[in-house]
Amino acid sequence: MDIIEKRIIEEIADLHDVPEGAYNFRVNSATDGRRSTANIEIRSKEDKPGIDIFIKPGTKHESVHIPVVISESGLKEVVYNDFYIGEDCDVVIVAGCGIYNCGDQDSAHDGIHRFFIEKNSRCRYVEKHYGSGTEGARGKRIMNPRTEVYMKENTSMEMEMVQIRGIDSTFRSSLAVLGSGAELTVHERLMTHEDQEAESEYVVELNGDGSSANVVSRSVARDSSHQRFISKLHGNAQCAGHSECDSIIMDSARIEAVPEITASSTEAALIHKAAIGKIAGDQITKLMTLGLTEAEAEEQIVNGFLK
């Protein structure tokens, strides 16, 4: 990898060197490095682009890093990654994609990730998106990730979905199907600016007794960007579901929050909350009294909100 590609890896995976544990680096549609471990095996798919990751039952406190980098203008790809997590595991999976586009053609990455989580296992999944390029380049940076999670009994999945800057267009689609006692937690952090478009859709099927889901999105829309957050909770058993959209709107931006909660059981408890508003003037004034300019105060508030 060259200097630009290494910098993108740092942004999306917090890596400054080769990580411990299993990893698969993908750069411009080719494998740029791979390592399996005794408990985690990574295999290339034979029928389409992508990999299969097999995590042995009982694997604890291990990690997998699978970052993707695109640094060629005009490159477009679709990648399929499947994760098979055995029983009684506790693992961390770090994904993410970075696009550096310095040309006039659009570059795009569509990543389809499927998780099959067996009984009594825990998984933390981190997915970060980042884009950059040279000033004056007209090529767009496009990402359309798809995530599917299938959870057996007494499993836990924590998803951290982050997109802070540099992506011109994205549609993030996520589906989760929960069995008895399964717990899903989603934390989305998103910021758009200029004329960027971002849409997120989360569909959660609460099928097992004692299952629960908490889907929370925090976002900031600046300039003339547009965001759309869609949350669909389907309570099909004795379950608890909560979704929340909390957004700051600035300049000439536009934000939509579209909730859908459906119960087909009298024991389902579902809640949706949404709040969209501007930065309060007294917050800016207070920070300015501490010596910050208005722009610096605004930036401090935005950064704190998205942490």
Short-list 273, 8, 12, 27, CA closest to 162: 12
Q: N- to C-terminal Cα distance for the chain?
A: 30
The answer to whether 255 and 276 are in contact (CB under 8 A) is yes
Q: How many CB atoms lie within 10 A of CB 2?
A: 10
Q: Which tokens belong to 87?
A: 């029983």
Q: What is the pLDDT of residues 188-237, one digit of tens each?
A: 999 999 999 999 999 999 999 999 999 999 999 999 999 999 999 999 99
Confidence (pLDDT) at 1: 59
**Residue 258: partners with Cβ closer than 8 Å, 6 or more residues away:** 228, 229, 230, 231
Quote the mean pLDDT of the chain: 94
Report the alpha-carbon distance of residue 215 to residue 200 in Å, rounded.
12
- Between 156 and 136, where is the model more confident? 156
The DSSP string of 149-206 is: EEE-TT-EEEEEEEEEE--SEEEEEEEEEE-TT-EEEEEEEEEE-TT-EEEEEEEEEE
Q: What is the pLDDT of residues 31-88, one digit of tens each?
A: 999 999 999 999 999 999 999 999 999 999 999 999 999 999 999 999 999 999 999 9
Which range among 13-22, 185-194, 294-303 shows the weakest confidence by mean pLDDT? 13-22
Q: What is the pLDDT of residues 248-261, one digit of tens each?
A: 999 999 999 999 99
Report the alpha-carbon distance of residue 254 to residue 249 in Å, rounded.
7
Confidence (pLDDT) at 2: 65
**Residue 168: partners with Cβ closer than 8 Å, 6 or more residues away:** 131, 140, 141, 142, 195, 196, 197
Angle at 194 (CA atoms; ends 190, 198), nearest 5 degrees: 40
Query: Residue 97: enclosing H or E segment and its boundaries?
Result: strand 97-100
Which range among 72-81, 242-251, 283-292 shows the weakest confidence by mean pLDDT? 283-292
Confidence (pLDDT) at 17: 65
Report the alpha-carbon distance of residue 151 to residue 119 in Å, rounded.
8
The DSSP string of 192-253 is: E-TT-EEEEEEEEEE-STTEEEEEEEEEEE-TT-EEEEEEEEEE-SSEEEEEEEEEEE-TT-
Instruction: Give residue 164's domain range.
Output: 3-306
Query: Residue 92: enclosing H or E segment and its boundaries?
Result: strand 90-94
Structural domain count, the chain: 1
Amino acid occupying residue 81: N
Integer-rounded Cα radius of gyration of the chain: 20
Cα 87 → chain centroid? 24
